[in-house]
Amino acid sequence: MKILVTGASGFVGRVLCAELVKRGQAVRAVSRNSANLTGCEAIKISGIDAETDWTGTLQGIEVVIHLAARVHVMRDEAPDPLSEFRRTNTAGTEHLARCAVAAGVRRLVYVSSIKVNGAATHAGSKFTETDAPVAQDPYGISKWEAEQALRRVAQETGLEVVIVRPPLVYGAGVKGNFAQMLRVLAKGIPLPLASVRNLRSLVYVENLADALIACIGHPAAAGQTYLVGDGEDISTPDLLRHLGAALAHPAHLFPCPPALLQLAGRLTGKADQVERLLGSLQVDSGKIRRELNWIPPCTVQQGLQATAAWYRTTKGS
């Protein structure tokens, strides 16, 4: 089987490609740069939209794993962010799918986002695949629209589409808020988060790669949507404590009323960042476990320790 991976040089793509090669799969790695991915056939493209030329790139491919996307950023400087997200994430994805059909591709595994379900869950509840989508930001909206476009292509052509919605992905090379937490812990900065009582689902990058590989060939996966997670939800304070211990820089947490932190977030224009620290977001990954017999190969503890080890090695903390 020959597999094409888009976004191959990215955070998830590198791990996925390495694991596919390790398992003896032939991989054609598509990215915006000429990153050297050992054992892969590298293809460089300038970007993904409705005009991307996939001629030749899809030749001989049986399965596409579509990771490439315009990702969420804290300060989006585009005049019309939704249009920019739609150009890559929605129109680009549908165009890729239709080109894949024309090239004889059998299955497309699409990495969407839990943002399609929404931004937060209430106490005692978890997102599931049957929930009505409540995408709230341009990124989530574009991902939901891409899912709908893929369903149309599948219905019209018979392409086997598998959709995977991960929550926060972490591991070696992680960026964004997770990397910021590592930096703060390494510096020993006290944090006013001891009073937070939330639960969040995470997925270790190697667990996500394993889940995507499970979606490649399993007959039951065709036409399905799956939420994936490590299966061990964790509060923000406990996450910081585990990371601090793994970094050998214990977390210094002190109590502060969450309502006061929310007020501070609104006053400083960082309400969304604060809410991600205070709020809950849990996913039920039971469906992929039942239907594909998928079990995450790594525990949360193993994933956090590996992430901390990478940070210590690369940042010298």
Q: Answer yes or no: 226 catalytic.
A: no
Residue 78: predicted pLDDT: 73
Nearest-angstrom CA–CA distance, 103 and 77: 36
Nearest-angstrom CA–CA distance, 13 and 28: 12
Kindly report, residue by residue over 168-200, the tens digit of the pLDDT.
999 999 999 999 999 999 999 999 999 999 999
**Residues 92 and 247 sit within 8 Å (Cβ to Cβ):** no
Residue 61: predicted pLDDT: 98
With a pLDDT cut of 70, the percent of the chain lying above it is 97
**Full residue range of the structural domain in which residue 44 is found:** 2-165
Nearest-angstrom CA–CA distance, 26 and 229: 27
Nearest-angstrom CA–CA distance, 294 and 297: 9
The reply to whether 17 falls in a domain is yes
Which residue among the candidates 139, 170, 204, 311 is catalytic per the annotation? 139
Q: What is the CATH number of the domain that holds 83?
A: 3.40.50.720
pLDDT tier for residue 135 given thresholds of 50, 70 and 90? very high
Q: How many domains does the chain have?
A: 1
Nearest-angstrom CA–CA distance, 252 and 218: 46
The reply to whether 22 falls in a domain is yes
Kindly report, residue by residue over 240-289, the tens digit of the pLDDT.
999 999 999 999 999 999 999 999 999 999 998 899 999 999 999 999 99
The reply to whether 53 falls in a domain is yes
pLDDT tier for residue 71 given thresholds of 50, 70 and 90? confident
The reply to whether 96 falls in a domain is yes
The reply to whether 221 falls in a domain is no
The reply to whether 81 falls in a domain is yes
* Start-end of H helices in the chain: 11-22, 81-85, 92-102, 138-157, 176-187, 205-217, 236-247, 258-268, 271-278, 286-292, 300-315
The reply to whether 184 falls in a domain is no
The reply to whether 122 falls in a domain is yes
Kindly report, residue by residue over 192-241, the tens digit of the pLDDT.
999 999 999 999 999 999 999 999 999 999 999 999 999 999 999 999 99
Kindly report, residue by residue over 153-164, the tens digit of the pLDDT.
999 999 999 999
Stretch 300-311: mean pLDDT, rounded?
Answer: 97
